Chains A and B, each alone.
Chain A
Amino acid sequence: MIGKLLLVDDEADFLDVLSEFLSGEGCKVSTALNAQEAFLLLSRETFDLLLSDINMPGMKGFELIKEARRLYPALKCALITAYDVRDYLYMAKHYNIGNIITKTTPFNFDEVLLLVNNILSGDVFGLDHYMHGAIRRTMVRGSNDIDGVIQGIVAEMPDLRHKRKFRQALNEIIVNAVYYGAKHERGDSKESWPLEVTLAPEEEILVEWGADDEKVGVAVCDQKGVLTKEEVLFWLERNASKDDNGMSVGLLDEHGKGLFISRETIDRFIVNIKRGEKTEIVMLNYKEGLYDGYRPLWIQEL
């Protein structure tokens, strides 16, 4: 994948090593130490992707992207930070930004490359984009399939960390895919959801799973594409912000919590959306001790 990248960060050292890496992967990389330099470069040549640090002296990453989007509507944009993405969910919602990469230790070159590739190519669906090993697949054809599918997946992942949480998140995501994604049940009236649902062939849910040296992964994909990036950001932000008593604002909400809790308990929670066609949620869990740091925000709406 070849693309023209503009990296912006006030850490010259970081710019240097990241551009060395991305150049080695075939990208054409330019760097800027601040927003001013970035705008100068943007005015001179056309870039495919602007990847900017958030916290810089002068104009911060969010405003930089807002302004760059206004000037160059075709430019794709993402942020990168060493800090806690949860602190930025409000800004992400406000500026409608779906991608915030995190600087982890060890530094996760694969992830950065994957995200850059995803954004540039728009080719994001399928667990094989995120895993190296063999991928197994099954279809969920109704509510009665859900438990069995989850049992099967978990049974095949003996080394899974935080098994209970993973299972809970998986259940949340598949149930949502069946009822909300495929059947368009209203999220705020869960108590009236029918206990048993059978899905038509064009409503079936694809579940993929696999494991490689570093991680295990599951992808759940519906065929409707109802969810939007804005909605995901709305629910994530709502549940991340605290009220005066330190309780989550979304604590008593009937729905929307599943997304947030799943994102909190799973190492990588990736949402891929093609409006009106499909919604895919990819969950990756790393093996112990890998990539300490904060979880990236990874929502791709095509």
Chain B
Amino acid sequence: MDIANILLVSFDDPTLSEQLASHGYTPVAVPDVPSMLDAKVPFGLVLISQEAVGDAGAEDMERLYFASNGAPIAVYVNEPSAISPGLKRVLDEGTLERVYRHEVENGLATSRIDRMYLSSGLDAAVRAYRQREEDKELLGKELKLRNLVLEHERELGTDITGSITSGLVVLDVSGKIFLINEYARRLLRLSMGEMLGEPYRRVFPEKVSRFVENALKRAAGPWKRHEIKKITVDESVLEVVSYRMNDGAHNATGLLMLINDVTDQENTTAQLFRSEKLATVGTMLSGISHELRNPLSIISARSQMALKKTEWDREWAVKAFESIDTQVNRCAAILNSLLDYTRYKAVQQALHRVDEVLDETLTHVEYRSIFDEIRVERNYQAGLVVFGDRSRFIQIFLNVILNAADAMSGKGVLRLTTSSEETSTVLVEIHDTGCGIGVAAKDRIFDPFFTTKEPGKGAGLGLAVAYKIVQDSGGEIWCSSAPGDTSFFVRLPSGKRKVYDRKTAAG
């Protein structure tokens, strides 16, 4: 746009008009600010006298602004020293944004309108105006483009959140829903209604709400990065992970939640642990049938001898029946140990002597040929008790001991040591002289399905099961290993405190 028209406001100096005209500008004169609106032609610059501005109140300024219709406004000053206090105030306050300081001070603000000054001053003003018009146009284009990009990004975002097969929810710090994808709605069994901006509590199932409440509370703190929990919603097991969202200064800005359906996974894991349990029962069953064979053959032998005898002397009969009685009780004890084990549903929490539990575990496996050349050393500290479910303790030790026997390939020394580090825990060390665990294997030895055995020799669940039970029992399990010198340590909560608790409770 190239408009050479200059609007002269409240000037009665004809020489100024002439001078402007000689420079190729077309001066259009109006008497005052209100009459600016009457100007019939578009103009590229407003030139206003100092007096007119200096007298102008805020209202007049507004009007001037309005009337300039976006054109730059220049104030004509006779000489710099003559800048009136009114204009100075306007310049200082900067309220009159469109007064070009530059033009006023270096261009128009001279006593004589010098050709050069006037020219440069006006040209600059007009150039600045044109530049701004172009900028505006460019800005408009850019804005349009940006909107396009934004829209595209928004669509992409929706595509992404809609396509992932995980539930995705973003909450702001106050717990209002900022984003929720289709999958999350499906997993959380939510209706299709609009829920952006709704507080989570009004929308989510109760169990999930409780998790979110805690997660939000903790997200407000500085350290906790994420929370994870399995929540059952309508028979589905959902794994909900929440991440605290931060701004650059690590202030919490909200909560991002990922939700996955892990029902199948959970079932498989449960099944695997159950099948491992069955395998343990199988091991014990075959152990028990072996164990029964001994007393049964003694009972059979005793009674056959008795039946063959034609005359019984009392001493002989007492010996024979005592023997039969002892062996029958032994059979009953063997059967009971299996019953104790299989009655795992109702977990029987009780006090157990650690050495007894270890010895019982050994009876389940020692008959196996792999133990034929393994010497078992018992190094028990007297009087140690643990509190918990006996069958589960047996399962822990069974798995670790079988692992040790395998590691020794059936030849070596198995040393069982029990000790008490502090009154609240009991430490069981199961030491073997086997091949040891490689550095790479060490980190993974408690992972399900990790096995160094040849294919078909083991599913690799034994130690994982032991690990899980120890964890569930509030204990710890770890190992240290070198070739020929491997120890598994199991730390279990001691029964001592329980005894004490009971006594004080009773007292």
Q: Identify the A interface with B (CB < 8 A).
A: 11, 13-14, 16-18, 20-21, 54-55, 60, 62, 82-84, 87-88, 90-91, 103-107, 109, 243-246, 293-294
Contacts and interface: CB of A to CB of B under 8 A. Distances in A.
B456 A82 contact: no
Nearest to B373: A60
A105 B454 contact: no
A85 to B, nearest CB: 10
Contact of B294 (A87, A103, A244): A103
Nearest to B369: A87
Nearest to B316: A20
Contacts, number: 72
Interface stretch (B19-27, B119-127, B230-238, B299-307): B299-307
A215 to B, nearest CB: 17
Most buried by B among A54, A103, A243: A103
B293 A293 contact: yes
Closest 3 pairs between A and B when the two form their complex, measured CB to CB: A103-B297, A82-B293, A107-B301
A91 B372 contact: yes
Given A55-B372, A88-B369, A244-B456, A14 B294 contact: yes
Contact of A14 (B290, B298, B319): B298
Given A83-B367, A88-B369, A11 B298 contact: yes
By secondary structure, the B interface counts as helix
Contacts of A245: 455-456
10 contacts: A14-B297, A14-B301, A54-B372, A62-B372, A83-B293, A90-B369, A105-B297, A107-B297, A109-B304, A293-B297
B298 A244 contact: no
Nearest to A244: B456
Interface string B31-70: 0000000000000000000000000000000000000000
Interface residues of B, number: 26
Contacts of A107: 297-298, 300-301, 304
A36 B441 CA distance: 41
Contacts of B293: 82-83, 103, 105, 293-294
Contact of A60 (B304, B319, B372): B372
A250 B164 CA distance: 54
Nearest to B370: A87
A173 to B, nearest CB: 28
By secondary structure, the A interface counts as loop
B455 A244 contact: yes
Interface of B: 290, 293-294, 296-298, 300-302, 304-305, 319-320, 323, 326-327, 366-369, 372-373, 454-457
Given A87-B368, A244-B456, A20 B305 contact: yes
A97 B477 CA distance: 42
B297 A104 contact: yes
A11 B300 CA distance: 15
Contact of B296 (A87, A88, A105, A246): A105
B297 A82 contact: yes
B387 to A, nearest CB: 30
A105 B295 CA distance: 10
A261 B456 CA distance: 24
Contact of A13 (B305, B326, B366, B457): B326
